[in-house]
């Protein structure tokens, strides 16, 4: 459905925007309630987006479960929706346009950005897409305000793609960024430990980069999908990875090991799986304060690098959009569950303790056109 053109600053005539909306508000450790909050007011350089869907992200779940941030706030950041109001200074968008949003956008000028350490940039750390309780608001709300610095992170969604696909741009970006950090060559062999939604994205993106993947997970159903997405070999437990490393690489070891699970034991084990000069990438260890007994000699003498990757890379946005929207990376197979906003705690529970069949869990924030198609 194409909405009629509307003047900037005004809602589309058939879609009156209310003054209040529903939002999932974090009120402290383990407590998220559905509340009525004001629809955010926008300034001249901002847009208001009616949120269609928002992915449930493990980093948000950890913050909710461990109470690591101050309440109140709204979480959620993997999102896509429809532009419903525009400030007078905004150019390049129109009312009714469907967009995927990035809540973190770097300044591209500071010392960190010049070193491509975008996730460390002061601007990047600010949340640029908010449903309220600023400066840290998120997207589990019916309407969100996109701040001027986050507008370059808004990606237009082609007519043939769904909002569910568009909401996957942000997590796909974080995975592509991590893959780039591995500096692999075609023909390299990589183990991906954990085949949840993120691990499966690694498998597919590595495969598209002509890298041979050994995928490990405890759930056979996930491994079947790993195969479909291009894994050369699947193993059902981390214990047999050492054998796989030997057989798949003629004893040399993997060029890289990606840990898409936050297992400390696997970090230690990965030091034996990776070849000399290879890389171990931590993707899921998003809580600080831990300690792991790694062998420093393997890092120094064997040059086995222990690296991390966090959040997205703004400069990869176009490539990510092309991958997802062309369906070379078809994210639709990863989205298994869609909950209404009112049932967000169930959505979080399922994402936290997945069933054999569940992968990416999403929240349908408002019933709007184009979620599925």
> What does the binding site for Zn ion look like in residue numbers (CB under 5 A)?
57, 106-107, 110, 113, 121
Q: Is residue 154 within 8 Å of 63, Cβ to Cβ?
A: no
- Residue 105 contacts residue 124 (beta carbons within 8 Å): yes
Write down the least CB distance from residue 170 to Zn ion, Å.
6
Work out how close the CB of 101 gets to Zn ion at its nearest, in angstroms, rounded to a whole number.
Answer: 12
Inter-CA distances, 220 with 4, 209, 235, 259, Å? 48, 25, 9, 18
Burial of 14 (0-12, 13-18, 19+ CB in 10 A): exposed
Identity of the residue, 99 or 245, whose beta carbon is nearer to Zn ion in the bound complex = 99
Residue with tokens 């430990």: 193
Task: State the minimum distance, in angstroms, from the CB of residue 295 to Zn ion.
Answer: 31
- As measured in angstroms, the least distance from the Cβ of 297 to Zn ion is 35
User: Which of 143/283 has CB closer to Zn ion?
Assistant: 283
Dihedral over alpha carbons 19, 50, 196, 268 (to 10 degrees): -70
What is the smallest separation between the CB atom of 107 and Zn ion, expressed in angstroms? 4
Nearest CB to Zn ion, comparing residues 235 and 258? 258
Q: What is the dihedral of CA 33, 34, 39, 41, to 10 degrees?
A: 10
Rounded distance between C-alpha atoms, residue 246 and residue 296, angstroms: 22
Nearer to Zn ion, 358 or 369 (CB): 358
CB nearer to Zn ion: give 110 or 338: 110
At its nearest, how many Å lie between Zn ion and the CB of residue 112? 5
Reduced to 3 states, what is the DSSP secondary structure of residue 199?
Answer: helix
Element (H, E) at 221: helix 220-228
Q: How far is the CB of 1 from Zn ion (least distance, A)?
A: 29
Question: Do residues 103 and 138 lie in contact, with contact meaning Cβ atoms separated by under 8 Å?
Answer: yes
Least distance from C-beta 309 to Zn ion, angstroms? 13
User: Of 366, 290, 337, whose CA–CA distance to 51 is shortest?
Assistant: 366
CB of 109 to Zn ion, least distance (A): 6
Residues 260, 302: Cα–Cα separation, whole Å: 23
Q: Are 175 and 181 in contact (CB under 8 A)?
A: no
Q: Which is nearer to Zn ion, 78 or 255 (CB)?
A: 78
CB closer to Zn ion, 3 vs 119 = 119
- The residue (of 121 and 235) whose beta carbon lies closer to Zn ion is 121
Give dist(CA 171, CA 324) in Å, integer: 11
Structure-token pair, residue 24: 């999932």
Q: What is the CA radius of gyration of the chain?
A: 21
Measured from the CB atom, is 153 or 278 closer to Zn ion?
153
Q: Interior CA angle at 161 toward 154 and 330, to 5°?
A: 100
């Amino acid at each position: 459905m194409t909405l009629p053109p509307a003047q900037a600053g005004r809602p589309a005539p058939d879609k009156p925007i209310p003054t209040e909306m529903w939002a999932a508000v974090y009120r402290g450790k383990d407590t998220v309630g559905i509340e009525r909050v004001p629809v955010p007011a926008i300034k001249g350089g901002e847009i208001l987006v009616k949120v269609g869907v928002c992915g449930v992200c493990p980093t948000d779940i950890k913050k909710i479960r461990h109470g690591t941030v101050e309440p109140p706030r709204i979480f959620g950041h993997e999102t896509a929706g429809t532009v419903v109001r525009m400030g007078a200074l905004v150019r390049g968008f129109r009312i009714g346009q469907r967009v995927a949003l990035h809540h973190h956008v770097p300044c591209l000028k500071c010392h960190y950005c010049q070193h491509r350490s975008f996730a460390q940039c002061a601007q990047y750390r600010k949340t640029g897409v908010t449903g309220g309780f600023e400066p840290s608001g998120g997207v589990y709300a019916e309407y969100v305000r996109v701040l001027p610095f986050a507008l370059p992170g808004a990606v237009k969604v082609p007519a043939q793609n769904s909002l569910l696909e568009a909401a996957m741009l942000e997590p796909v970006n974080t995975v592509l960024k991590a893959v780039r950090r591995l500096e692999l060559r075609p023909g390299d062999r990589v183990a991906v430990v954990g085949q949840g939604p993120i691990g499966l994205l690694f498998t597919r993106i590595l495969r598209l980069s002509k890298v041979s993947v050994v995928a490990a997970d405890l759930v056979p159903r996930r491994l079947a999908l790993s195969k479909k997405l291009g894994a050369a070999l699947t193993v059902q437990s981390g214990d047999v990875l050492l054998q796989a490393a030997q057989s798949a690489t003629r004893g040399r070891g993997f060029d890289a090991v990606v840990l898409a699970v936050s297992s400390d034991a696997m970090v230690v084990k990965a030091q034996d799986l990776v070849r000399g000069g290879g890389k171990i990438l931590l993707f899921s260890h998003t809580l600080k304060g831990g300690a792991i007994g790694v062998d420093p000699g393997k890092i120094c003498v064997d040059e086995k690098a222990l690296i991390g990757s966090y959040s997205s890379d703004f400069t990869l946005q176009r490539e990510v959009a092309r991958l997802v929207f062309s369906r070379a990376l078809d994210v639709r197979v990863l989205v298994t569950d869609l909950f209404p906003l009112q049932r967000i705690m169930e959505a979080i529970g399922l994402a936290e303790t997945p069933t054999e069949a569940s992968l990416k869990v999403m929240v349908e924030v408002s019933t709007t056109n184009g979620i599925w198609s």
